[in-house]
Amino acid sequence: MLRVIVVFATVVLVAAASASAVSLEKRHQLGLRLGMWDQITDTRVEVGLDGVETSVESSGLLGGVAYGHWFEENLALTFCIEGMALDVSSDVGVLGVITETSAVTSIRMGVKYYFVPATLVSSARPYFKGSVGPYVGSQSSNRVGLTVVNEKRTEYAFGAQLGGGVDFVTGRHFMMGFGIGYNAMTDFDNPIGGSRNYSGPEFGFEFSWLFGKGIE
């Protein structure tokens, strides 16, 4: 993942150095997001009298899609959907095989405020951002033994993210950027993937397509 981040940062800097300032007011954005969340991979294999248990916790990777619309040159409405966590466990015992998977997804709407001095001066646009919305936890369980049982459940929490970053407008139709943020959320009523709360920091970068006529 670190290698991907270094390559992306190099591409952004090269593209930004050769790009000229472009107006964003009244334009739209569709973006793909990829980054790292605060948890790391934790794979465990335990062998006991009851059988073998394997658990793979969150890998730390997150991904998602984003939409943006600039009301003004330095103010944009944002909407994003991000997958934030993944947990897989398998328990092989005398009663059969139990496999569980879980994931946490955030659906947030917010605003992005660009520093006024940077607007239309260069391709680099530093910003503050804030967003709120539901965090959805889903978990499914599959038991294969004398019978086959499938169970699914969904939990909901409310949360917000605050952060900042830099966007690089690399042309009239393309933009790249990276940012950091902190997710703060309420607890799920019941644990998802072994945890009721997934608050924590994240780092991500984004590649976007810009469209709409905007202000010439």
Mean pLDDT of all residues in 186-194: 86
Confirm if 84 and 198 have CB atoms less than 8 A apart. yes
> Which range, 40-44, 87-91, 164-168, 198-202, has the best average confidence (pLDDT)?
164-168
At 103-146, the pLDDT tens digits run 889 999 999 999 876 666 678 889 999 999 999 998 887 776 66
Query: Residue 207 is inside which H or E element, if any?
Result: strand 200-211
Confirm if 100 and 61 have CB atoms less than 8 A apart. no
Q: How far apart are CA 203 and CA 57, in angstroms?
A: 19
pLDDT at 6 over 80: no
Q: How far apart are CA 91 and CA 121, in angstroms?
A: 58
Q: How far apart are CA 74 and CA 42, in angstroms?
A: 41
pLDDT at 208 over 50: yes
Confirm if 178 and 191 have CB atoms less than 8 A apart. no
pLDDT of the residue at 77: 97
pLDDT at 176 over 80: yes
**Residue 143, phi then psi, degrees to nearest 5:** -115, 120
Split at pLDDT 50, 70, 90, the class of 215 is low
152 Cβ partners below 8 Å, 6+ apart?
138, 139, 140, 141
Of residues 162 and 22, more confidence is placed in 162
pLDDT at 197 over 70: yes
**Residue 15, phi then psi, degrees to nearest 5:** -65, -40
pLDDT at 93 over 80: no
pLDDT of the residue at 184: 93
Structure-block tokens of residue 131 = 């967003």
pLDDT of the residue at 88: 67
pTM of the model as a whole: 0.78
pLDDT at 13 over 60: no
Confirm if 210 and 24 have CB atoms less than 8 A apart. yes
Averaged pLDDT score across all residues of the chain: 79
Of residues 205 and 110, more confidence is placed in 110
At 40-87, the pLDDT tens digits run 434 444 444 454 455 545 556 788 999 999 999 889 999 999 987 666
Of residues 91 and 107, more confidence is placed in 107
